[in-house]
Structure 1
């Protein structure tokens, strides 16, 4: 069965191509979104032949953390997958600084055994319920300007963001939804059927989350429960190993090798080729010796 990998990247070209090498397989196609704020020429492919079809999607956007441009980016990737006309059993959304923890044979075997399940993570902890309310109760404006480059631009952006928050709360301009909102990790492994359904409902998704903070943490969780695929959500979560206790998220260190290789997760984030090249080398050796 064919799988599609959708990768969101904005930096570290060498690490991205290393990741692509680990995903390279006759059964995989790889779709990449490079942040429009970045010169795509920096990501020139290395001079080697890949078994996978590797494609940089044309429909790029400027992605800002916390902004709805994040879900536009994700939907653009899914649209590119659907537009290919190929039938994929699973579509995996990962970051350019992620790594697989299992060889491709294991990932495909696992997905074959659990065919039809949707691997999406939900977080219903008390903290996240409060966080969900904070991010959705009132509309957000000026969010994309909080992290602009340049001290002046960033300062003005943050001031305008805070003023807008005071105005909407002072006037009690609450947001209204005709459905329940849910929250979790934005990284997922979903069936081709659910990917089609999300793309077909793109307009409704963007309208719902245009003024929400961090909508990428809510898009799939909310809309899968409104879809015909609601009964297919896997109890295994999203198959990712991500540590939010030690970082936002934590960057895996050399001492974490045993924890990673003994995990049941299929993927992990995040890694740094600059900080921990030895860890990446060891994991890469484990993955490639299985070929």
Structure 2
């Protein structure tokens, strides 16, 4: 069972190094996408002594809640597929995530659940209704030009609601997931062969929380999906970003049964608490 951890990073090379060291295990490799705005040399230096780390070459300048996050993720998927490594599972992480169980437990769990896709696939129309406007309205946040939001509002006022291409059922929630290599191969091919789908999601808000889940859900792989992305994420503060976890949250996430939690600030004492608990 080979696991590839695909990590999206934009800051804090030392925190990334700590994450990689904690996840290092037999038959484990790492693919790291460093935001194009960041100095990749700092990250390369931090991980220079780890031969199992591969940096994504085709980097993207990621802008929050835009299609650029999808582009960065797809670029990483492509390099994972063409790496020639005999990978079984791909685990998509942020550099501010951290494991809350041992790597041994995680690998055992995946070995016991072959062929499954662990991701959130809430139905937008019935379960995740706050996301309806993401797909039914036009969003111009992917582009940068004067007055774009005034034009966006005008277009949404004049034009009817957008319709999903090919009658796809939109699902999603969290952008972070764990799926097999065959799922990654499917997603890469599906997106490469579907410019109309790419065009649709370019005009969606935070499409990284929708596109991969929607494409897999509306495919022959639907039965592989387990509606649990194996991550503890606290949205209780009602903000656009999840709560930053601290020692106050320790018992809650350690007792959650999840394998990862997010997100953490660098060098927070709670990371030491996690390490000690896993030991």
TM-score scaled by length of structure 2: 0.90
Partner of 1:253: 246
TM-score scaled by length of structure 1: 0.87
**Aligned with 1:45: secondary structure?**
helix
Gaps of 5+ in 1: 146-156
Partner of 1:182: 171
Partner of 1:69: 68
| Alignment pair present for 1:170 and 2:157 | yes
1:1-291 aligned at under 5 Å gives the runs 1-46=1-46, 49-50=49-50, 53-124=52-123, 129-145=128-144, 160-172=147-159, 174-177=161-164, 178=166, 179-203=168-192, 204=194, 205-235=197-227, 237-246=228-237, 247=239, 248-274=241-267, 277-287=268-278, 289=279
The separation in 1 between residues aligned to 2:188 and 2:123, in whole angstroms, is 26
The separation in 1 between residues aligned to 2:246 and 2:149, in whole angstroms, is 36
**Aligned with 1:255: secondary structure?**
helix
**Aligned with 1:241: secondary structure?**
strand
The separation in 2 between residues aligned to 1:223 and 1:44, in whole angstroms, is 33
The separation in 2 between residues aligned to 1:201 and 1:169, in whole angstroms, is 28
- The verdict on how the C-alpha distance between 1:161 and 1:128 changes in structure 2, with shifts beyond 3 A counting, is farther
State the shift of 1:167 in Å.
Answer: 1.9
CA contact (8 A) 1:197 1:227 kept: no
CA contact (8 A) 1:8 1:32 kept: yes
- The verdict on how the C-alpha distance between 1:129 and 1:262 changes in structure 2, with shifts beyond 3 A counting, is closer
What is the number of equivalent residue pairs in this alignment?
272
Gaps of 5+ in 2: none
State the shift of 1:131 in Å.
Answer: 2.4
State the shift of 1:269 in Å.
Answer: 0.4
